[in-house]
Amino acid sequence: MLLWGIGIEARLIHLQVFRHADLVDRAERQRSRSIATHPKRGEILDREGRVLAYSVDADTVVSVPSEVDDPVGTTRQLCDVLECDAAQRDRIQTRLGQDRPFAYIQRRVSVDAARRIRDLELEGIGFLTESRRFYPNKELAAHVLGFVGIDNQGLHGLEASHDEQVRGRPGRVLVQTDARNRAFSRVESPPTAGVSLELTIDKFIQYIAERELRAAVLEHDAAGGSVIVMDPSTGEILALANEPTFNPNSFSLSTPDSRRNRATQDIYEPGSTFKIVTASAALEEGVFAPSEMIDVSPGVIRFGSHRISDMRNYGELSFADVIVKSSNVGASKIGVTLGPERVGRYVARFGFGQLASRDFAGQSRGIVYDWSQLPDSELASVAIGYNISVTPLQMAAAMSAVANGGELIEPRLVRAQISGNQRLEVAPHVIRRVISPDTASTLTRMLEDVVSRGTARNAQVEGYTAAGKTGTAEKIIGGQYAATGHNVASFVGFVPSTRPALTILVVIDDVVKFGGAVAGPPFQRIAEASLRHLGVPPNVDALPPILVASDEGSGPRVRPVSMLVPTPVSAAPAPAPDGSRMPDLRGLSVRSAIWIATQAGLTTATSGRGFVTTQTPQPGDPVSAGQQVTLRLDRASALAAQVER
């Protein structure tokens, strides 16, 4: 008995002293299970605050298998609601038959399915609240937004590149069970929502870009294409479209080809659009003057077995007309005269061979070869946009550098990050100056001639001067250039050319015709609709604003006569006052108000959404040319404002 007692005491001391911490930890693991709950992702908004992506609460069906007495019967009732196939039925039955404190049955079920399962009141079956990503505009800006996987992780687009900020911090659910594995306690720590992103994308311009791109691809039976619309002075991307596209709400039903962001991931030989780099280098280095003559006869130039030709024999052309008529022979001679060091330096200055933006995941750098190793034949090819591969985004950024006076600005998608009441603005990032303002101005005049009398007449925009360059490059298929009829057609330009508001790039893949005929018309239609939407005044034959005086109400009102004003305006017999007066914009839509203010020579700043309710300066106040008008917009007060007027 003494030895027995000593043995018991020794065993107790061993368990309760030496193994105490280990046994307590094992007991805690056996009776408690911590389950991570996913936070609600932040919203993604366009530049006007319109929602492009948001998360909604959804019920996830879970179980405590140890409390399920009849796994077969419970599985049958669940699958009657969830419409399971054979594999799902077997998986659910297996999970319900295990001796575990927790198991997922089905993630994020519909509202109707959750209600019907609750009505069954099944033992051991419960619910967790998770968030589900929803894209209300379906395919709109799908490649920009991307999509989210089942575990709330961004897998593509902005959802992936800004996943850490947008997804938030997860919560925890602690489930405790007794010795028979029956749950008796549940403690939930809620997750923290993620940061919302306000994008530079304009929903309306994005829709226009996608519509016109789809129409061009269908018209020319093309393999696909891309469109980029950006503000050249800030780098803000107003629209980025790709064709084919997909619906991020059901991304699993789409193909990898449709999900690929061609504008940032695909590379192509740019063809003649790259001549803007060749021309910029020649002008900046003082190697050629715009009026200097270049002999391009007989319309072909040879470098050994390598042959470069023009559409026809132009004879002798000025440097400017080499760009206007897109002479390959002339551009090749310019490139060879510049030499590999200078050509390579300007290719790097314009951002080719480098990542274009931090806002895109998985983007390509393009292909740029070692310039010191290039013979004249390959250098001549680079000068006309061959023997180098770029992304559409790089090409749009390069043209924007010409448009804004010579600065390469990083393209960006995110305008601000919003967390609660805090708003963190993302400022434009100037990467470097690539050419001088004088060079940019000289090149702009040449690019204007490309549109007015050169290869891009189809890109002319009524009421505006446009500048740009066409490009046609034969596709490489199977390691060699394809036969006639497989071209990459493109056009990149900016409008108005005097004070550029938009840079627009159109790339159409695998077509028979040339860049001006294929990509010029979409550029024209996108530019026309976008300029009208933004309220950019015409710079060609623009009509002066017409103002009339009115005695209505207290104090004078000066109203512009315009076809765009949605309310009737009648002229009073009183004469127009001396000097300029502030028009009455109250009750108008933002588009009409901006158009009227612009016609009066004023600039505008808006806040809110809806119709104009208040304005500064007040109606009838004296104003001067270029003065800023502040407009406050509101939906709720729109009807009252209209009635008052």
| DSSP-assigned letters across all residues of 84-119 | --HHHHHHHHHHHTS--S-EEEEEEE-HHHHHHHHH
Active-site residue among 66, 272, 332, 400? 272
Q: Which residue has the tokens 């030989």?
A: 269
Say if CB 241 and CB 367 are below 8 A apart: no
DSSP single-letter state for residue 232: T
Distance separating alpha carbons of residues 122 and 77, to the nearest angstrom: 9
Burial of 476 (0-12, 13-18, 19+ CB in 10 A): middle
**CA dihedral for 286, 290, 293, 299, sign (positive or negative):** positive
Query: Nearest CA to 35 among 187, 215, 147, 247?
Result: 187
Q: Which residues pair with 134 in a beta bridge?
A: 54
Closest CA to 615 of 570, 581, 577, 565: 581
Q: How far is Cα 428 from Cα 409, in angstroms, rounded to an integer?
A: 7
- Which residue bears the tokens 């760009």? 323
Q: Are strands 306-309 and 316-318 parallel, antiparallel or unpaired?
A: unpaired
DSSP E strand boundaries for 135-181 = 147-148, 154-156, 171-177
Query: Tokens 């979409």 correspond to what residue?
Result: 522
Q: How far apart are CA 590 and CA 47, in angstroms?
A: 15
The answer to whether 145 and 26 have CB atoms below 8 angstroms apart is no
Burial class from Cβ neighbours inside 10 Å (0-12, 13-18, 19+) for residue 500 reads: buried
Question: Do residues 467 and 199 touch, judged by C-beta distance below 8 A?
Answer: no
Residue 22's contacts (CB-CB under 8 Å, 6 or more residues apart) are: none
Per residue, the 3-state secondary structure of 563-609, as one string, reads CCCCCCCCCCCCCCCCCCECECCCCCEHHHHHHHHHHCCCEEEEEEC
CA dihedral (401, 404, 410, 413) positive or negative: negative
Q: Count Cα neighbours of 592 within 13 Å in the Cβ-side half-sphere.
A: 20
272 is catalytic: yes
Q: What angle do CA 503, 509, 514 make, to 5 degrees?
A: 80
Residue 310 region, left (φ>0) first, then alpha (ψ -120 to 50), else beta?
beta
Question: Cα–Cα distance between 400 and 435 in angstroms, integer?
Answer: 12
318, 345, 387, 546 from 332: Cα distances, Å: 14, 17, 12, 52
385: tokens are 């946009």
Amino acid at 609: R
Radius of gyration for the alpha carbons in the chain, expressed in angstroms and rounded: 33
Structure tokens at 298: 């007989």
Point out the residues that are catalytic: 272
